[in-house]
Amino acid sequence: MKVIIVGTAYPYRSKVSTFNHCLARQFMDEGNDVEIVTYKYQGMHENRLSGDSSPENLKITQMINSMNPVSWHKTANYIKDSLPDEVIFAYSNSKMAVCMGNIAHRLNKTSGIKRVAIVKDMIPEDANLLDRFLPYKFARNIDGFVYVNKGIAEDIEHFEKTPKPKKYSNLPISVPYGERIPREMAIEQLSLDPNYRYLLFFGYIRPYKGIDILLDAFSDERIRKYNVKLIIAGEFKDNIQPYIDKIRQSGINDYLEMRIEYISNMDVHKYFSAADMVVQTYKKPKESGVTRMAYHFEKPMLVTNVKKLADIVKNGVVGYVVEPNPKDIADAIVDFYENERRETFEKNVVVEKQKFSWGNLTKTIETLFN
């Protein structure tokens, strides 16, 4: 089968580029002829160029000017002349809608090409007027949708003229950070005390991520019984002083490992390998790559009951889904150590991880119209 993926790719550096490269490789591994058609000028999109060399064995053609309708016409003609069986549009925000919608429109049904959209978000949480208007052109020129965030099927339907086939697939894991190593090795390489167990809060630290709630939870005296420390690894993107004050007032400084810095890709696997459980105490619905990183490194998770986090963590199976308050978070930590849940949760994570495979996504695409 001939497959063309339309969307951001090398030489642009972004999560979408990484996603499209991985999707292309999966299709290739399954014996398909694959090409990515990407931008030569992105206009309103983020113009972050990759400093890496071109991905090996991927056919990437730069030809789309996101601001130039003539380019859209040429791109559609190029795709038609390539005679693909399927064109996959990697859609992530409304800034792409007009450009992609016009290309899809020119790949009309008379060409015999199936037009599939992979949608991460259709109407974002902080949607503006353009977010609620621009996707109409795109959605009405697509034959079927695969959405990788639960709860957005209705958002897609909002823009359709007539109902189209839709299927949900978990967003696959794409973690270019190496593999898990033995805990003892990670502890040594991070210069941690091997006599303690560790929980991990990882990533940029912002108010909505609820680190203040986690610090309050970690002040619970019951946790001291288990000789546990909390690793906070990542950069503060806001004023750090309120957190320093909270730590000082609660007297938990001796039970924290503060690695307040940018964590290089070469060190990410060490932090996850050292931890017993990954903790995300978000206050509002936000997608997080950290959850998928936890799956990749086969670590149990404690997340709060907010959309996009709770959707992919099975409570009591691979970890905990709790309300975003200190008591419920502390209760879960106590249960984890008191009842020795780590080994059971890790075994379950290995099983659940398979749902986040690239093969699962391509299978969903291939069966979309069945």
Which whole number is the average pLDDT over 210-214? 94
Summarize pLDDT for 4-39 with one digit per residue, the tens.
Answer: 999 999 988 787 888 999 999 999 999 999 999 999
Residue type, 252: I
Work out the pLDDT band at 289, boundaries 50, 70, 90: confident
Work out the pLDDT band at 189, boundaries 50, 70, 90: very high
Summarize pLDDT for 338-349 with one digit per residue, the tens.
Answer: 999 999 999 999
pTM: 0.77
Q: Find tokens 């000789």 and name the residue.
A: 227
Residue type, 95: K
Chain centroid to CA 6: 19
